[in-house]
Amino acid sequence: MTVKKKVVITGLGLATPLGLDVEDNWQKLLAGTSGISRIKLPDTAKSPVQAVGEIKESDWTKIQKEFPEEAGQQGEKRTLFALWAARSALGDAGMLSYTGNKDRCGVVFAAGIGINRPEDIQKWISRDGNFDLLRFGRELKTLHRESIARNNSHRAASLIAKKFELRGTNCTITTACASATQALGTGYRAIQRGDADMIVAGGADSMINPIGLVFFVLLKAASVSSENPESVCRPFDRKRSGLVMGEGAGVAILEEESHAKKRGARIIAEVAGYGSTMDAYQVTAPDPKGVGAGRSMLSALKDAGMGDSDIDYINAHGTSTRLNDTAETVAIKRVFKENAYNISVSSSKSMIGHLLAASGGPEFIYTALSVQRDKVHPTVNLTNPDPKCDLDYVPNKMRARTVRAAISNSFGFGGQNASIVVKKYNQDLQDMSEKK
């Protein structure tokens, strides 16, 4: 049998409502600072959705200045978020000046479906109410540069590869809210098999636009609360009212261990296991018994060679919706049994919102930092515990504890489930043992 190669994390990059710097994100998370604010889109005073996790205007300006050519030609937020996070992660890993074999360096990236612009459709509606396909074809170049017709899902992965000359594996994953975790898992598998030495993995998304927002309102998944925006997202709380849309990107550099060591890279943590399943239950609702989500975690644990007593922390999907939070709680208890009550569980979405296809990217990064630094960020706004959600969700205040290994969960519409295990790198474990 082929020996599976060890995969480590050597670089991290972020663009979230909390900022563009990984350390700044982390410190704000530990402090329980929310990046969620009142929506700033034009003409949204009467919008049912008032709370969103937007990238700050000053940060968006900074990203555009960093990539002036792409900002001028592409302009689409999701793609530029991806370029920023990828460049940050490659810089963090010391890979920007890498002169080795880039044929074995690739990109596995998650992206949402792009921006649907009503005005792009209306422009080509004829007087009889039909869509004028022929005129649309002739005038395609006049489409707004942010339109889905000019920015397909694979654009981000393609531009990252081109910008940084990564000529190996390249693919895009679009599987709703599980996308980024599946991208990370797919990148992990590529390195584990020996198909690549380094993979830029993660995701970027932005659906803070009229069509994106109304979609989740119609599904009755989005919060339409008029309360203080910072307090609207409250995962696992009895008074939770729905998800809060966010935007941004999260990218990790995954690398084969010997490759990382050879170039003297700093190793943050090890990716130890990955699992992915399908509920096959209902497109817009999770299985209330948590069967698919549970199998996803079990599969990741099996891949990592771990049992139910080896996990100290779970970065939950934790959407602040009534169905997800109870189903995920049931799934965790199904997998970890009595030990579930010894595991710290928290939701990053309580502070950055739901980044949809990109959500697993930042959450994987926060999970890796918890493993590296033995700190767990809180779930904020959890003031009215739901009896059906009875685990340790680290309410409102960060916690210092040993995190030997952790799981990051992403469960998406359509029943897509993905779980990825991060553990301390073996040298870190050796150092801990010697201290004892």
**Active-site amino acid positions:** 177, 317, 354
Residue with tokens 């074999």: 101
Between 22-31 and 360-373, two packed helices, what is the crossing angle to 10 degrees? Answer: 80
Residue 406: closest CA among 339, 340, 303, 310: 310
Between 77-92 and 155-164, two packed helices, what is the crossing angle to 10 degrees? Answer: 40
One DSSP character per residue, 209-222 reads: SHHHHHHHHHTT-B
Contacts 24+ apart (CB under 8 A), 192-195: 192/4, 192/5, 192/7, 193/2, 193/4, 193/5, 194/2, 194/5, 194/256, 195/168, 195/169
| Residue 187 CA: distances (Å) to CA of 110, 150, 406 | 11, 27, 18
State the greatest distance between any 2 C-alpha atoms of the chain, in Å, as a whole number.
79
Q: Give the CA angle between residues 211, 201, 169 to the nearest 5°.
A: 110
- What SS3 class is residue 361? helix
| Sign for the pseudo-dihedral over CA of 219, 224, 225, 231 | positive
